[in-house]
Structure 1
Amino acid sequence: MLELMPLVLFVAVCVVLLLGFPVALSLAGTALAFAGLGLGLESLGVDANFNAGYLAAYPNRLYGIMTNTTLLAVPLFVLMGVLLEKSKVAETLLDAMALVFGSRSGGLGIAVTLVGMLMAASTGIVGATVVTMGLMSLPTMLKRGYSPSLATGTICATGTLGQIIPPSIALVLLGDVLSSAYQQAQLSMGIFSPKTVSVGDLFMGALVPGLMLVGLYMLYIAFTAWRRPESAPPVPREALMDELGHTQGLGILLLKGLVPPIVLMVVVLGSILAGIATPTEASAVGAFGALVLALVYRKLSLATLRDVLRSTTRVTSMVFLILIGAALFSLVFRAYGGEEMVTALFEQMPGGVVGATLIVMLVIFLLGFILDFIEITFVVVPIVGPILLAMGLDPIWLGIMIAINLQTSFLTPPFGFALFYLRGVAPDSVTTASIYRGVAPFILIQLAMLLMLALFPGLATWLPAQFG
């Protein structure tokens, strides 16, 4: 029984999380309880196979977390996204996109997809994007004759794009964890000058698959509008302008609502891809740019700024508290020999690295039903990442696969987080069955994207290689 303690520890954490306790406290509390159990058994002369030396590394881990410059990008990217949301910049952008595409069949759905992509990239938080897009676009889509299933499916799918479209908080956190896992894997192979994986590498690797997903979403919406025109009817531009309450010309609205946010995204992402700025530096530029846009649009008041700073502080505190708890959990897991157990399990698994990767992806997919991407990134990836990377997987490819896998998990009935978020803001006339039917085609699209990445890893690795 004692040799199974790493597995018992992992199951115990999942049970505590399902009981509804805060994630960070669940990780740290369960780890402390099992650490105390291991020390207690050792003091009683029972061989619990517990190496207390791992716990001595915890102060250094905490210091490393607090001095990690890469993680500074998290509060700044959150600040940028919340500013764009609270100052109504995203709402103006949606109006402009709707006026450009809405006069064509399926155009309103395409507009929602594009705006959702930009919102998801800027906030990086699935719940915030789905709720915001649901409140802004769902009533208009339903009023203009869109079928409930297509409207809700489009909003849920675009809301999960924050997992893969850079600059994304999910990729920032995943890049930091994968870099540590990659270094650990190389050290285990006897490479004492290990290479690292930067967040910029992961951004570049995610760009092609992310844009392909957006393109496939829009192709599906256009195909549905062609096959069933009644499910995505065109909206006359004049009627839409009257409904949105815009008295300005289309050109002025596009100039005000479309150009500035897109320029901001291009500057932030372009500076990273061109090597001009690190993700942390680019996040500061993005936050400052979002503040300037809010001032220009005259949407920034003291009350709004207070809400923005509170939301940013709340999200940032949650992320770092989870990271501190996950660091303790990881050390206790290793102290019980969990890393050796997982390594032995993967080595005995049929199919070698392919079989091990499939099992890990399946486990991450299932955990996505009960855990957010932050918990999975900080708890699961440090355990399985070094082992898979030591088996020869490319760290950038693995990171993109994990991100899209989680994106699919958050969209899959009956437990997908995105479905719960939209159900909370959707009108009673939209049934839960309609939401489930609506996301099914988008799930198939994402599974197809995972398969393409598995067959053609260059989709994720080619661009980082070109940029060196």
Structure 2
Amino acid sequence: MDGSIALLLFGAICALLLFGFPVALTLGGTALLFAAVGIITHTFDANLLAAIPARVFGIMTNETLIAVPLFVMMGVILEKSKIAEDLLVTMSKAFGRHPGGLGLSVVFVGMLLAASTGIVGATVVTMGLLSLPSMLKAKYSPSLAAGTICATGTLGQIIPPSIALVLLGDVMSNAYQRAQLNMGIFNTKTVSVGDLFIAAIGPGVLLVFAYAAYIFLRARINPEVAPAADIEPASVAEVLQSLLPPLVLIGIVLGSILVGAATPTEAAGVGAIGALILALLKQRIDKALLQDTLHQTLNVTAMVFLILVGATLFSLVFRGFGGEELIQSAFESLPGGAFGAVFVVMLVIFLLGFILDFIEITFVVVPIVGPILLMMGIDPIWLGIMIAINLQTSFLTPPFGFALFYLRGVAPSSLATGAIYRGVIPFIMIQLAVLALLWAWPPLATYLPSVVSP
């Protein structure tokens, strides 16, 4: 089988997604339709479909994926109980009286929100509602203000505990196991979500410093684009009162993973309970808020699992049509060997980020190319972090970057959409620079997991 039907399947799914059809139903429905036609034309082995029930059952019983609803619940509670809002307001008062200070406060708070919520939409919306008016009132450049908020909101994609890393970790683990089996290696070693969490710390912190350095330098070179704000300074007590609760929660969740006291799933449970306790202590939770939180958590979880089921069907049918062998053959013929193949994959993921969401890319592209790249000797942890940072740009790249949509939805009409697009370009360049640095120096991602055993 030459794999041409597999490529046609992939193209059909991308086209349908561009027309706005539901992701999960598009993945699963199109795959089954192609499989049915393949069975009729004797180009697809019907026996492969017998594996579907076992694969779906495996998804539903996957302990790693239990972390998804727990981390979502943790983030939603912190957002709806206004703990994140208090932190943002206080930090703006603490730094805003200096040139570039409001922008730096957004980056700092975004880092903390990323490490405590991991939900890009909630972070961008919260900062867009609270910080954007203050930044525009302080005569910040509209493009710089918009770009800072959008880019900082995407830190939840790379700074643990990140839902994106949980999903990517599960996909990479399956890819690693498949690569091992294809090479005739039978062992229990795998790539854990905890490995990716630890590996993401270095690149994540580097991104935060790079964002802050860019804003600081812009304010130093041209103070008019990021002037000091005329706001009341925050007292030390206010700063500590707002800063300590999320720091303690972050320390418990990430610390338990780093020292090996808990798995990411167990730490997610601790984080959800901890967020609930913080909300109770601040007397900002009631029955209605709790119901809303659980409803939103259920919606996100159902969406993720349904997409994963659809992606599993697509992956099965794609391989049944010989797509994996076709891609493996293409990769092996590329100049540059394994790293040439990685470069092509990174480029494809970056371009797909213009039109597809990170969940779609994670569940559709990574299961196809992951096993092949790992069979070529690529380090799975390094590859996982490279893909994670690359996927982060999908939230910023126009015209379909979700962070741009989130900010557009809460920004005043006076802020032009073009200004939002122009504002994110420097931050996309920063992300690509960090990606290039990680390419040139893999220990940035691989060193910590090699010395820390989660």
Equivalences for 1:305-454 in 2 at 5 Å? 305-454=290-439
- Report how far residue 191 of structure 1 moved: 1.0
Aligned match for 1:121, one of 93, 115, 123: 115
One-letter identity of the residue aligned with 2:205: L
Measured in 2, the distance between the counterparts of 1:200 and 1:143 equals 42
Deviation of the 1:194 alpha carbon: 4.8
The answer to whether the 8 A contact 2:75-2:119 is kept is: no
Superposition misfits of 4+ residues, deviation over 4 angstroms: none
Give per-residue Cα distances to partners, 1:399-428, cap 9 Å, x unaligned: 111111111232123332222221222111
Equivalent-residue separation in structure 2 for 1:183 and 1:199 (angstroms)? 14
Confirm or deny that 1:240 pairs with 2:240. Answer: no
* TM-score relative to the length of structure 1: 0.94
**Post-superposition offset of 1:135:** 1.2
Residue 258 of structure 1 aligns to a residue whose secondary structure is helix
How far apart, CA to CA, are the structure 2 residues paired with 1:192 and 1:172?
24
Residues 1:215 and 2:209 are matched in the alignment = yes
**Is the 1:205–1:461 Cα contact (8 Å) retained in structure 2?**
yes
Q: How far off its partner does 1:52 sit?
A: 2.6
User: Which whole-Å deviations, capped at 9, do the CAs of 1:1-26 have from their partners, x for residues lacking one?
Assistant: 97410000001111111121111111
CA displacement 1:352-385 (0-9 Å, x = unmatched)? 1122111111111122222211111111111000
- Alpha-carbon displacement from aligned partner over 1:22-45 (angstroms, at most 9, x marks no partner): 111111110110111111112xxx
- State the distance in 2 between where 1:435 and 1:307 align: 31
- Aligned ranges for residues 72-221 of structure 1 at < 5 Å? 72-221=66-215
Distance 2:110 2:372 in 1: 35
Residue 303 of structure 1 is aligned with which of 266, 279, 288? Answer: 288
The two structures have a TM-score, normalised by structure 2, of 0.97
What residue ranges of structure 1 are gaps of 5+ in the alignment?
A: 43-47, 242-248
Quick one: which amino acid aligns to residue 300 of structure 2?
V
Partner of 2:263: 278
The separation in 1 between residues aligned to 2:237 and 2:292, in whole angstroms, is 30
Specify the code of the residue in structure 1 equivalent to 2:161.
P
| Whole-angstrom distance in 1 between the partners of 2:178 and 2:101 | 48
1:13 aligns with 2:13: yes
Q: Secondary structure at the match of 2:400?
A: coil
Distance in 2 separating the partners of 1:423 and 1:448: 26
Letter of the 2:369 counterpart: V
Please list, as runs of the form range in 1=range in 2, the aligned pairs for 1:51-70 lying within 5 A after superposition.
51-70=45-64
Paired with 1:224 and 1:201, the residues of 2 have a C-alpha distance of 36
Contact 2:396 2:402 in 1 (8 A): yes
Partner residue, 2:272: 287
- Aligned equivalents of 1:293 and 1:125: distance in 2? 18
Give the Cα–Cα distance (whole angstroms) in 2 for the partners of residues 261 and 194 of structure 1.
36
Give secondary structure in 2 for the equivalent of 1:276: coil
Matched-pair contact (CA < 8 Å) for 1:149–1:434? yes
CA distance in 1, matches of 2:28, 2:119: 23
CA contact (8 A) 1:78 1:122 kept: no
Query: Identity across aligned pairs (percent)?
Result: 66
CA distance in 2, matches of 1:318, 1:240: 43
Q: Which residue of 2 aligns with 1:45?
A: none
Alignment check: 8 A CA contact 1:209 1:459 kept: yes
Deviation per residue, 1:215-261 (Å, 9 max, x gap): 1100111111111112212234xx336xxxxxxx7233223211111
What is the SS of the residue equivalent to 2:41?
A: helix
CA distance, structure 1, for counterparts of residue 181 and residue 383 of structure 2: 19
Report the secondary structure of 1:310's partner residue: helix
**CA RMSD of the aligned region, Å?**
1.5
Q: Which amino acid in the other structure matches residue 111 of structure 2? A: M
AA aligned to 1:410 is F
Find the residue that maps to 2:261 and give its secondary structure: coil
C-alpha contact (below 8 Å) 1:187/1:194 kept by paired residues: no
| Counterpart AA for 1:240 | E
Consecutive unaligned residues in structure 2, runs of 5 or more: none
**2:4 aligned with 1:4, yes or no?**
yes
Determine which of 194, 214, 224 is the counterpart of 2:218: 224
Secondary structure in 1 aligned to 2:139? coil
